[in-house]
Amino acid sequence: MRLSRYFMPTLREAPADAQIVSHQLMLRAGLIRQEAAGIYAWLPLGLKVLKKIEQIVREEMDRAGAIEVLLPTLQLADLWRESGRYDDYGDEMLRIKDRHDRDLLYGPTAEEVITEIFRAFVKSYKDLPKNLYNIQWKFRDERRPRFGVMRGREFLMKDAYSFDIDEAAARKSYNRMFLAYLNIYARLGLKAIPVKADPGPIGGDLSHEFIILADTGESEVFAHGDLVEMGAPGPDIDWDGDLEPLVTQRSRLYAASDEMHDAARFEAEVPEAKRMTARGIEVGHIFYFGEKYSKPMKALVTGPDGKDAPIHGGSYGVGVSRLVGGIIEASHDDAGIIWPDAVAPFGVAVVNLRVGDAACDEVSERAYKALGEFGKEPLYDDRDDRPGAKFASLDLVGIPWQLIVGPKGVAEGVVEIKRRATGERQTLPLEAALKVIAE
RNA sequence: CGGAGUGUGGCUCAGUCUGGUAGAGCACCGCGUUCGGGACGCGGGGGUCGCAGGUUCAAAUCCUGCCACUCCGACCA
């Protein structure tokens, strides 16, 4: 992409409305534009990042055996009356009437819809287990939206729903999601901690929140240090095998967010040297809810004994749009965003310091073309602007590499490459520089 | 929803107390000089001062109502 033809409206100063660093940087780097409280337009750069995160989430869901569907944003109120949640949900649910005066709502989540679909088609235990997921915009009319996309009213969420014959089978589905989530965050370049969450009225221990570490995060986490070092299990585990050891290896270690924290237990269970206190952001939540929806909505399957029974369900959410802010909170410096390679909107910026100079233009064009062929998604800064302005805006938007073409270097047959994350620079002949960036 | 605050060119803000010709910096347009970390000079364009009433000879400024947005609290991917 040629920057002169692109749409990347950066701001030198942060709008006064933005309080936290990710929100400020998202506005300054031209990722989003606020249209109303908690409602944002996604501009080209922001959309690219959002799509990349979405794709990583999708790939890891697929790998773990989940199947993608696309559910509507608008849902029928009658479905929610069946589950009993229509009246419970309160003012957070955006209620709408259509021209026939029918009650609709903009979905804040999709347990009812997915249960309705499931019960329409699945009748036998032989068709279980199933896990269906959906990456779709949700709306929750928060009393107080804030922090940019971290707590918007409209947000993109991946929500998966598992269906199993009994609790033991549901636990296996839960384990798959537990591990898939760790893989997602690892691929996004994040350190994530699964913490036990309030299981709610269902009880049991099958509810975890996933918190990514960021110094500016809003919640405090207390955890066993090994939990972070252990990291994600990786993609090559046997997804159909027994995942329980991998899960318990992690879930038995102490981890709690501030509201669930028990200082006495923390000190008793975790040796002093391993006690970790950090700040973080909740970016995922998984839980098992048994027959909560299948019973009232009559999502029944016939078991091996010939009797019908409600399926055991679980649901698994990832805040996709929130992750954009979360990644920035975890990865930025004074100059701007530092995108992990996996989600960067462009892989490399070709910085032509002297647009109009025949030699600089020629080398820049060559680099741009080659990097495109390597699949590095180059952004060619061909703006007729001063070097300082180019560096500042490219640092701000966080492109992982800069390949800098200046008149002095070109005269000597070299270019410079700079790594955004470390500031590390190398001066090399073009071919060698391309090789480094192409890895 | 309770409490606090803010609305003035695209952005950051001054001007409001004490009513009297709407301002600055950045951004934008033109010309020129510049050109390795957000340049400089000269010239220029752009604002129903959130909206609606009211007071007044005169309202960004005072009064009333409304709206929007932000922050603090209780809830949440």
- The pLDDT score that the predictor gives to residue A260 is 84
Highest-scoring range by mean pLDDT, A97-101, A129-133, A262-266: A129-133
- Residues forming a β-bridge with A285: A209, A317
Residue numbers 178-217 of A with CB closer than 7 A to any atom of strand B: 209
Q: Protein A323 CA to nucleic acid B14 C1', in Å?
A: 38
Residue A349, pLDDT > 60, answer yes
d(CA A410, CA A353): 11
d(CA A265, CA A283): 25
Q: Protein A105 CA to nucleic acid B41 C1', in Å?
A: 60
Measured from the CB, is A159 under 7 Å from any atom of strand B? no
Residue A203, pLDDT > 60, answer no
Q: Protein A17 CA to nucleic acid B63 C1', in Å?
A: 29
HEC per residue, chain A: CEHHHCCCCCCCCCCCCCCCHHHHHHHHCCCEEEEECCEEEECHHHHHHHHHHHHHHHHHHHHCCCEEECCCCEEEHHHHHHHCHHHHCHHHCEEEECCCCCEEEECCCCHHHHHHHHHHHCCEHHHCCEEEEEEEEEECCCCCCECHHHECCEEEEEEEEEEECCHHHHHHHHHHHHHHHHHHHHHCCCCEEEEECCCHHHCCCCEEEEEEECCCCCEEEEEEHHHHHHCCCCCCCCCCCCCHHHHHHHHCCCEEEHHHCCHHHHHHHCCHHHEEEEEEEEEEEEEEEECCCCCCCCCEEECCCCCEEECEEEEEEEEHHHHHHHHHHHCEECCEECCCHHHCCCCEEEEECCCCCHHHHHHHHHHHHHHHHCCCCEEEECCCCCHHHHHHHHHHHCCCEEEEECHHHHHHCCEEEEECCCCCEEEECHHHHHHHHHC
Residue A200, pLDDT > 80, answer no
Which of strand B's nucleotides are less than 7 A from any protein C-beta? Answer: 1-2, 11-13, 25-27, 34-39, 68-77
Measured from the CB, is A115 under 7 Å from any atom of strand B? no
Q: Extract the tokens encoding A166.
A: 């009994």
Residue A11, pLDDT > 90, answer yes
Measured from the CB, is A146 under 7 Å from any atom of strand B? yes
- The pLDDT score that the predictor gives to residue A354 is 95
pLDDT band of residue A219 (cuts 50, 70, 90) is confident
Residue A350, pLDDT > 70, answer yes
Quick one: which of A209, A325, A284 has its CA closest to A57?
Answer: A284
Residue numbers 329-348 of A with CB closer than 7 A to any atom of strand B: 335
Measured from the CB, is A30 under 7 Å from any atom of strand B? no
| pLDDT tens-digit series, residues A65-104 | 999 999 999 999 999 999 999 988 888 999 999 999 999 9
- The pLDDT score that the predictor gives to residue A199 is 65
Measured from the CB, is A283 under 7 Å from any atom of strand B? yes
Q: Protein A152 CA to nucleic acid B70 C1', in Å?
A: 14
Measured from the CB, is A151 under 7 Å from any atom of strand B? yes
**Closest nucleotide (CA of A423 to C1')?**
B37
Contact of A157 with A135, CB cutoff 8 Å: yes
Measured from the CB, is A155 under 7 Å from any atom of strand B? yes
Q: In CATH, what is the architecture of A346-438?
A: 3-Layer(aba) Sandwich (3.40)
**Closest nucleotide (CA of A143 to C1')?**
B1
Measured from the CB, is A383 under 7 Å from any atom of strand B? no
Measured from the CB, is A37 under 7 Å from any atom of strand B? yes
How confident is the prediction for chain A on average, in pLDDT?
94
Q: Protein A387 CA to nucleic acid B15 C1', in Å?
A: 37
| pLDDT tens-digit series, residues A357-411 | 999 999 999 999 999 999 999 999 999 999 999 999 999 999 999 999 999 999 9
**Closest nucleotide (CA of A427 to C1')?**
B36
Report the percentage of chain A scoring pLDDT > 70.
98
Q: Extract the tokens encoding A197.
A: 């969450």
Average pLDDT, integer, range A24-29:
95
Residue A178, pLDDT > 60, answer yes
Measured from the CB, is A318 under 7 Å from any atom of strand B? yes
Q: Protein A144 CA to nucleic acid B62 C1', in Å?
A: 33
Measured from the CB, is A107 under 7 Å from any atom of strand B? no
pLDDT band of residue A197 (cuts 50, 70, 90) is confident
Residue A202, pLDDT > 60, answer no
**Closest nucleotide (CA of A395 to C1')?**
B37
Residue numbers 62-101 of A with CB closer than 7 A to any atom of strand B: none
Residue A201, pLDDT > 70, answer no
Average pLDDT, integer, range A329-335:
95
Residue A144, pLDDT > 70, answer yes
Q: Phi and psi at residue A396, in whole multiples of 5°?
A: -60, -45
**Total Cβ atoms within 10 A of residue A190:** 24
CATH 3.40.50.800 in chain A, residue ranges: 346-438
CATH 3.30.930.10 in chain A, residue ranges: 3-337
d(CA A395, CA A349): 10
pLDDT band of residue A143 (cuts 50, 70, 90) is confident
Measured from the CB, is A363 under 7 Å from any atom of strand B? no
Measured from the CB, is A14 under 7 Å from any atom of strand B? yes
pLDDT band of residue A55 (cuts 50, 70, 90) is very high
Contact of A379 with A421, CB cutoff 8 Å: no
- The pLDDT score that the predictor gives to residue A198 is 76
- The pLDDT score that the predictor gives to residue A339 is 98
**Closest nucleotide (CA of A9 to C1')?**
B10
In words, the CATH class of domain A3-337 is: alpha beta
